[in-house]
Every structure is written in C-alpha cells, then in structure tokens.
Amino acid sequence: MPTAPADSEYGTTLVPTVTPFSNGSVDAEAVADLSEFVLENGADGLIPCGTTGEFASLTLDEYETVVSTSVEAADGAPVLPGAGHSSVAGTLERIGVAADCGADAVLIVLPYFHGANDPAGNERFLRAVLDETELPIVLYNIPSCVGQSIDADLVEAVADHPNLAGMKDTSGDLTHLLEIIRRTGDDFHLFQGWDSQLVPAVSMGATGGINAVSNYFPGMMAEAIDAAAANDIGRARDLQLNHIAPLFNTSLEYGFAPTTKAALVERGVIDDDSVRPPLVELDDDQVATVRDVLGETLGVEAE
C-alpha cells in the first residue's frame, strides 16, 4: 500500500505560476491576483519565475518584481522561485535577490547552452552553488530545456548536502523518478513536474507535484495528490486519466506558458494572455481547443 507523501515544509501542491504581462511589462497586480487565486483554491505554495513563468525572458529587475510580489501575496505560504542560470555567479545572484525578497527556497537547473565536458563538472557546479547559497535548494531536472538530465548518480552524490531540500523532476521518465526515490531518504522532497505522471509518482512515494495545470485547477491537482497518497485508486485514476492528462497534453502540444495563460483568461483569473518572444499566443482554433478541454473539467474541484 502506498504511503502518504513525505512531510514537507513547502507542502505537496506547488504552482509554477505564469508571469502575466500588460502592454509588454510585468503586471504586478495580476501576479498578486494569480497568487491569491491558487492559494485560496487548494495550492500550498508558489513557484514563480520557472519555465511556465518565462523566467528566461525576464530582466533581473522584473525577476525581483515577480518574486517580491509573489511573496507579499502569499502571506506566509511557501514561495520557491526559480533561480536558473548558466553560471554559478548568475545562479547565486538570483538566489540573493530571492532571499532579499523573503523567498523560502529556490529551484536551480544545470547550466544550459554549454554542458559539462565531464560528468564531474555537473557535481562541481551544484556543490559550488550549494556551498554558497543563501536559501535551501531544490534541483530542477528539465532535460528538454537544459539539454541534459540530472542523473541519479549525481542526485545521490549531493543528496546529503545540508542546503539541498529536494528535486523537481520534469524529465517525463517515471523510471528515472522512481530511481531517485529509491536512492534518497525521507528528508529529500521529490516533486513530479510531468503532470500526466503525477498520480503514479505520488503513489510510489513522491512528495507531490509542481505542475502547470495547477495554475487554473489547483484544487483538482491537490485532490489527485491526496487521493493517490490515500490509496483512493478510483478517484486518483479518474482525475489523472480523464482530466489532468488531457489538459497536460494540450499544454505539451501548444506550449506551457501560452496554453496556461489562455486557460487562465478563459477562467477569468487574468485578463491578458500575452507572452514574450520567442513564444507566441495561441490562435483562435487553439484557444477553442483549450476551452473545450477546460469545459470537460470545470466543476471537478467542486465535486
């Protein structure tokens, strides 16, 4: 029988929030409104400035605005901003900004563009950040964007570092995630980032999820995690197969930030679905598809 997700000071349902824009600039009011919406509707904490939050398209000043606004709106709920950068110095700079804003922890990625010329280089990078960080670190494994995966050997090598809290795995490789669970202890918080594998991951001991779909259906995602942890297989399977998977697959096809923003506009949470280049907004046919998929799920949170 599966056990409940490991206790985490950050909760089990964390939302990688989008960054709303208005007239080309960060819309701080909309950042706050979205933060309040997800926390009032079932989420435990916020992950601003991640992949869905278009972190790579933000200036450092904009990054500070998004993080500080999220912390204020969270009103004590955990906030774990992304702090991804391709250098140790750049990563630590963003961690410093996040710390000054009152964040609780940060997510970091392996260097992108220039990968390690030897596997030891990735451990050297992580330890350089872990040794100097001002905040607890959650590793963020997203090989489709970074170009390389945080392999199980590397996770095991650094798992006992006092500044490492856990990992978000968005590899889509359930076998890899299960290997991380097997090699790490109860104090290592592993979050599933591949929405269509949320229930299987939690059923096997993952702490919870950090999922784009939770921007607009936070309560449903929280219920799926709770059902999987409680061995309520029927409810967990229904939510995963009939609701989460179709929503995730639509995001996978059209792009996570554009699809999530379109869904949030449809739900009346934000007013503007604009994204920054190289991303583009969904066209009318794609928005219609999102509307149809949302319509099949609306009401699930109230059941």
Amino acid symbol at 199? V
How far apart CA 130 and CA 159 sit, in angstroms, is 11
Q: Are 214 and 17 in contact (CB under 8 A)?
A: no
Bridge-based pairing of strands 137-141 and 45-46 is unpaired
- Among 147, 282, 132, 263, which residue's Cα sits nearest to residue 195? 263
Identified catalytic residue from 10, 63, 112, 140: 140
Asked about 168 being catalytic, the answer comes back as: yes
Which of 72-76, 82-86, 184-188 comes out lowest in average pLDDT?
Answer: 184-188
Identified catalytic residue from 10, 63, 112, 168: 168
pLDDT per residue over 180-202, tens digit each? Answer: 999 998 889 999 999 999 999 99
Asked about 140 being catalytic, the answer comes back as: yes
Looking at every residue in the chain, the average pLDDT score rounds to: 95
CA 196 to chain centroid, in Å, comes to: 14
How far apart CA 182 and CA 31 sit, in angstroms, is 37
Please calculate the CA angle 30-31-32 and round it to the nearest 5 degrees: 90
Q: Is the preceding peptide bond at 2 cis, omega within 30 degrees of 0?
A: no
DSSP symbols for 26-40: E-HHHHHHHHHHHHH
Q: Is 95 annotated as belonging to a binding site? A: no
pLDDT per residue over 97-147, tens digit each? Answer: 999 999 999 999 999 988 888 889 999 999 999 999 999 999 999 999 999
Q: Are 31 and 48 in contact (CB under 8 A)?
A: yes
pLDDT per residue over 264-285, tens digit each? Answer: 999 999 999 999 999 999 999 9
Greater confidence, 1 or 61?
A: 61
Q: Are 64 and 98 in contact (CB under 8 A)?
A: no
Q: Are 43 and 26 in contact (CB under 8 A)?
A: no
Per-residue model confidence (pLDDT) at position 1 = 37
Q: Could you give the percent of the chain with pLDDT greater than 90? A: 91
Q: Is 180 annotated as belonging to a binding site? A: no
How far apart CA 288 and CA 122 sit, in angstroms, is 43
Greater confidence, 193 or 2?
A: 193
Per-residue model confidence (pLDDT) at position 301 = 62
13-232 belongs to which homologous superfamily?
Aldolase class I (3.20.20.70)
Bridge-based pairing of strands 164-169 and 189-192 is parallel
Residue 148's region, left for phi above 0, alpha for psi from -120 to 50, else beta, is beta
Amino acid symbol at 250? T
Q: Name, in order, each residue with C-beta under 8 angstroms of 300's C-beta and a sequence gap of 6 or more.
A: 217, 220, 239, 243
H-helix segments, 79-217: 88-101, 119-132, 143-146, 152-158, 174-183, 198-203
